Amino acid sequence: MTSHPTSPRQLRLGLFVQPLGHHVGGWRATGDLGSPTDIAWLTRIARKAEDAKFDLFFVGDALATSVHRLPSTMARLEPLTLLAALAVSTRHIGLAATASTTFSDPFTLARAFSSLDHISQGRVAWNVVTSYSTEVARNFSREDMPDHAARYARAREFLEVAFKLWNGWRDGAVVADRASGRYFDDDKIQPINHRGEHFSVQGPLNISRSPQGRPVIIEAGSSADGQALAAQTAEVVFTASATLEEGQAFYRSQKQAVAAAGRDPRAVLILPGVMPIVGRSREEARETWRQLNTLVDIDNGLDQLSARFGMDLRAFPLDGPVPPVPGGEGNQSRIRLLTDLAARDGLTLRELAAVAAGSRGHRVVVGSAEDIADDFQQWLEAGAADGFNVMPAIVPEQLDLFIELVIPELQRRGLFRTSYPFATLRENLGLPSAT
């Protein structure tokens, strides 16, 4: 670990970037509207994040326009080209790109991430996803997605091949001796000759070993398949735990799975996503949150809520109470987050629809810098998180407030770094080097 012995364990913070904000109404609430395809805009965000000492600039992805109705998921820069451009405009921050194993090849992605790791001088992470929507399948000559188990089986072998490719070039393979005319040490460049169920790949890669050896591997997903794959291969796990208790349960279960896979549980960092709504006072934060939720399309919110609850909520009065939800399919923790919230705050169906549409089911923490730091500290100390993937609702305003108010509060408490001690992302995260 990179913290010095007398300081408490420190949080790792990713910035989950939506260039127009994570809240559906965020782009309407900002006084400084950027464009999600403007590299200058993205560069400003990345430099802010680096000045604030975030661990990661994290970009999500989907291989289709999105039904979330976030403008920046309908039209966005492709993550690998985006991060390559940001790599030369930043020096320290980690750069995490989402890429799917279902619609690419191991040679292609292993090579691209190695290239990015060279370009960024060792600051790249790969958020491994398997894709899920029919819309994506139909952009890749399929009628529908492979089922969950098939996607994970492919992802597992995909990663196996990628790791072999990254290890096919050893340190010292480049000799570059002009006198003898020997540029490479051929013994340190090995084909992989992989033959598996999904892939046959000869190798080696056509790129030398990168500064980190391979990108930091990030995975998400709370399914059994997802947890099992993460236990074997992930170094950062991005989750969507809704409550502290759920966060603790996930944290415990994932770390146990890592240990059962023969790895040090400290070598896998668990970062739940969170949308902080920051104010200079608790009241200001609540007013921001209230205002944001007036900028939401209620019909869209009802659709999202209906899909999530597995029942048609249009049959219920909008200004009445939230109806009870039957058990069954769906993401139970996301459902409980919403129903608990409605019960606690006495929300009407209309109000809950606005919240659901606005935050898209992510955990929201509304308050002053102290409130948010308290929440983060509680999750860290209660064994529910090693840090967070922070999702600013309004960009730049909520990002700026988080940086101005919350980061210094975390630093005062000794919970967050004040400089980047190392050159590579993996070192700055306190993770073991790739071998």
Interaction of residue 78 with its own copies, rule CB under 8 A: yes
Interaction of residue 298 with its own copies, rule CB under 8 A: no
Q: From the list 27, 58, 166, 388, which residue makes contact with its own copies (rule: CB under 8 A)?
A: 27
Which among 364, 360, 362 has a CA at the least distance from the CA of 296?
360
How would you classify the pairing of strands 200-201 and 94-100?
unpaired
Helix (H, G, I), strand (E, B) or coil at 348: strand
Which among 276, 202, 269, 299 has a CA at the least distance from the CA of 428?
269
Interacting stretch for its own copies, rule CB under 8 A, among 132-140, 215-223, 319-327, 409-417?
Answer: 132-140
* Nearest approach, Cβ of residue 153 and its own copies (Å): 15
> Cβ(57)–Cβ(93) under 8 Å?
yes
Interaction of residue 197 with its own copies, rule CB under 8 A: no
Is 4 labeled as ligand-binding? no
Nearer Cβ to its own copies (12/209): 209
d(CA 213, CA 166): 7
Interacting stretch for its own copies, rule CB under 8 A, among 116-124, 213-221, 222-230, 368-376?
Answer: 116-124
d(CA 201, CA 303): 44
- Beta bridge mates, 96: 58, 125
Q: From the list 2, 33, 261, 287, which residue makes contact with its own copies (rule: CB under 8 A)?
A: 33
Q: From the list 10, 18, 73, 127, which residue makes contact with its own copies (rule: CB under 8 A)?
A: 73
Which strand (E) or helix (H) includes residue 378?
helix 369-381
Q: Classify burial at 86, counting beta carbons within 10 Å of its beta carbon; exposed 0-12, middle 13-18, buried 19 or more.
A: buried
Interacting stretch for its own copies, rule CB under 8 A, among 110-118, 279-287, 305-313, 319-327?
Answer: 110-118
Which strand (E) or helix (H) includes residue 285?
helix 282-293
* Nearest approach, Cβ of residue 130 and its own copies (Å): 16
Return phi, psi of residue 231, to 5°: -60, -35
Nearer Cβ to its own copies (84/403): 84
Residues lying near its own copies in the complex (CB under 8 A):
27-28, 33, 35, 37-39, 43, 62-66, 71, 73-78, 80-85, 87-89, 103-105, 107-108, 111-112, 114-116, 118-119, 135, 138-142, 169, 174, 176, 178, 181, 183-184, 189, 198-208, 210, 295, 297
